[in-house]
Amino acid sequence: MRRLTRLVAGIDAVNNAIGRGVAWLTLVMVLADALVVGLRYGFGIGWTGLQESVTYMHAAVFLLAAAYALNRDDHVRVDIFQRQWSPRRRALVDLLGSLCLLLPVAVVLAALSVDYVTDAWQRLETSAQPGGLPFVYLLKTLILVVAAQLASAALARAGHCWLILRGASTEVGPWH
């Protein structure tokens, strides 16, 4: 049980660090977008690469913060029944949801995206826009990264729940 506790804590620490780190991109994204607007309307200058960088940052924030949001219970949850349940019952439902819903979705997302990402890397896909960024293949790679993060988050969540159900932890996690 001690190994499981350390493994779960390690997965959570990695996903939380990525989430907190990528949160800073929102500030950079706002500043870049303000610069795009200022250049366009203040000076009549269009900068496609900068505009695309805002889109890239938005995608990175959305994708890389998904596991962090899940871990902090900031995701959408219909909580009509669960708020009345005991911690053990919530742990059982979360265990089943993590293993039977979240983990398979992450695996299917990865499986369906491998060819898409591989093709982008083989072609070193770039923007179709003149002056656009030459890193579309890196952007598409984030799909596989989010799949891995969500799979690891599902396993960590299941581990948390297992520890609760086995009585090895009374901590019900940040989502309860």
Taking only the tens place, the pLDDT of each residue in 87-146 is: 888 889 889 999 999 999 999 999 999 999 999 999 999 998 988 899 999 999 999 999
Q: Kindly state whether residue 174 falls inside one of the protein's structural domains.
A: no
Question: What is the 8-class DSSP label of residue 125?
Answer: -
Q: Kindly state whether residue 171 falls inside one of the protein's structural domains.
A: no
Give pLDDT, residue 74: 67
Percent of the chain with pLDDT over 70: 91
Q: Kindly state whether residue 43 falls inside one of the protein's structural domains.
A: yes
Give pLDDT, residue 169: 64
Give pLDDT, residue 176: 39
Distance CA 114, CA 143 (A): 9
Backbone angles phi, psi at 133, to 5 degrees: -80, 145
Q: Is the pLDDT of residue 19 over 70?
A: yes
Average pLDDT, the chain: 88
Chain centroid to Cα 174, Å, comes to: 17
List the structure tokens of 58.
């938005």
Mean pLDDT of 28-37: 96
How many structural domains is the chain composed of?
1
Q: Which residues are within 8 A (CB) of 14 and not within 5 positions of it... i.e. 6 or more apart? A: 152
The pLDDT-based confidence of 168 (bands split at 50, 70, 90) is low
Q: Kindly state whether residue 161 falls inside one of the protein's structural domains.
A: yes
4 or 41, greater pLDDT: 41
> What's the pLDDT tens digit per position in 47-63?
899 999 999 999 999 99
Q: Is the pLDDT of residue 83 over 50?
A: yes
Distance CA 81, CA 98 (A): 18
Q: Kindly state whether residue 110 falls inside one of the protein's structural domains.
A: yes
Q: Kindly state whether residue 121 falls inside one of the protein's structural domains.
A: yes
Q: Kindly state whether residue 170 falls inside one of the protein's structural domains.
A: no
Distance CA 113, CA 42 (A): 41
Question: What is the 8-class DSSP label of residue 80?
Answer: T
10 or 73, greater pLDDT: 10
Q: Kindly state whether residue 68 falls inside one of the protein's structural domains.
A: yes
Domain housing 40: 2-165
The pLDDT-based confidence of 35 (bands split at 50, 70, 90) is very high
